[in-house]
Amino acid sequence: MWNLFYIFVFIITSGSGAFEDNRPYKQPNDPSTRFQSPPPFNESYQFIVLTGGKVYGLPTNSNSETEYTCTPERKDVVIASGKILSIMDPSKTTAFIDSIRDSKLTILPISVQDHIVIPGLVDVHVHAIGGGGEQGPYSRTPESRLSQLINGGLTTIVGILGTDGVTRSLSSLLQKMKSLQHDGLTTWMWTGSYRIPIVTLTGSLQQDVLLIDKIIGAGELALSDHRSSWPSKDELKQLLSDVRVAGMLSGKAGVIHFHMGSAPTKIDLLWQILNETTIPIQHMYLTHMSSRGDALIEEAKKWIQVGGMCDFTADADVLNETATVETLNKFRAEKLPLKQISVSSDAYGSFPEYDSSGRLVSYSMGLPDLTLKTIQNLVLKYSWPIAEAIQFSTSNPATYLNLKGKGFLGEGYDADVLVLNETDLTPLYVIGRGQILKTPTWVKHDMFEQFSG
């Protein structure tokens, strides 16, 4: 670890620009336009040390796969240059901090005594430029807000279009992703929308995935839904073949994120493609699988048992939903492979409810804190171990989508860190790529000057 430390010191002192000021731009006449962090984070620190916390999400290698260690560890987290420099034994932390101060480098120790330290949350399904519109132009949902994303504990998001691939554009989504990246989050996006032929930025699905860094696949392409274009099996084969090859050439996961409706056809076309071709199942990523009725939940069970990946949409309080938490409890009791499941928020997407004749009866919107609320529910209400509860929004999606540096807290990983209150699991600190994006409202500047080993 000390060799790595000296490398970091060399980078810092060599004027390489590794610590250039990448903080969010603030419009001087309108402070409400950006999320405002309280003092002392208007300063830049070359090292940040989180001390005294219970750290979850430490990686261990088992059978060539990265997994979590089973239990938390009392470790201090050292952050530098946007990365986790060390998961340090507390007995060494005081000497480390003293050595940094002696070298005239700036360091910020933060005591998070007894609180929960986990990886920042990954949300694979965020309508970052808004969604909806099923009830007419006035029902379009608003764009995402940085402060809401941060308060939901999200440090990595994947932006998406939905029903509307006409008046909502991929170019606008791409710009939004770049904006949120500038402000401290890590962002990717899906190309396409509900319908086939899919909309793209370059005119080709393969070129979008291969040539545009932020695009990791296509989605959300609707199946078995009354808003779907009801693609044929041959059309799906072609798209899956294209995204697989593009993923191979680009080094990305190369998947299609399928929006699943509640029609009786369920995922029949995808089963047929698996039986008739050699396209691997990992290129088919199914979402909304827990919230479309028991028949689709049974399909989800079969899908993950043969190695497929399912995404569950977090329960929405406004709709009094409990399907996702109930399904996770059921699958855990049946000892199904939970690593094959992610949970996303569907944030800023519309939540329309229809009656049996297809008439819209209610309308609401997903919020970005729903994934965190799922974790809170599992741990506080159903007594899940924290390491199990967080996997659906950390290690599982990061590993499946090949999001390098995400999903774990370990040396060399991106410094995406979420500190939760030990009592109610509400977020105290949110750190994205080494930038402190959220602090508790009660934090005072002078509290950060105090540190005892």
| Catalytic residue numbers, as ranges | 346
Rg (alpha carbons) of the chain, rounded to whole number: 22
Please, what's the largest Cα pairwise distance for the chain? 73
Please check whether residue 382 is in contact with residue 425, taking contact to mean a CB–CB distance below 8 angstroms: no
Per DSSP, 17 falls in state S
Q: Residue 297 and residue 288: Cα distance in Å, rounded?
A: 10
Please check whether residue 313 is in contact with residue 334, taking contact to mean a CB–CB distance below 8 angstroms: no
Q: Give the C-alpha distances (Å, rounded to integers) separating 390 from 103, 110, 116, 293, 374.
A: 38, 23, 12, 24, 9
The beta strand positions in 200-299, using DSSP E, are: 215-223, 255-260, 284-287
Q: Residue 442 and residue 25: Cα distance in Å, rounded?
A: 25
Q: Residue 208 and residue 215: Cα distance in Å, rounded?
A: 7
Please check whether residue 117 is in contact with residue 393, taking contact to mean a CB–CB distance below 8 angstroms: no
Please check whether residue 285 is in contact with residue 257, taking contact to mean a CB–CB distance below 8 angstroms: yes
Q: Residue 36 and residue 23: Cα distance in Å, rounded?
A: 11
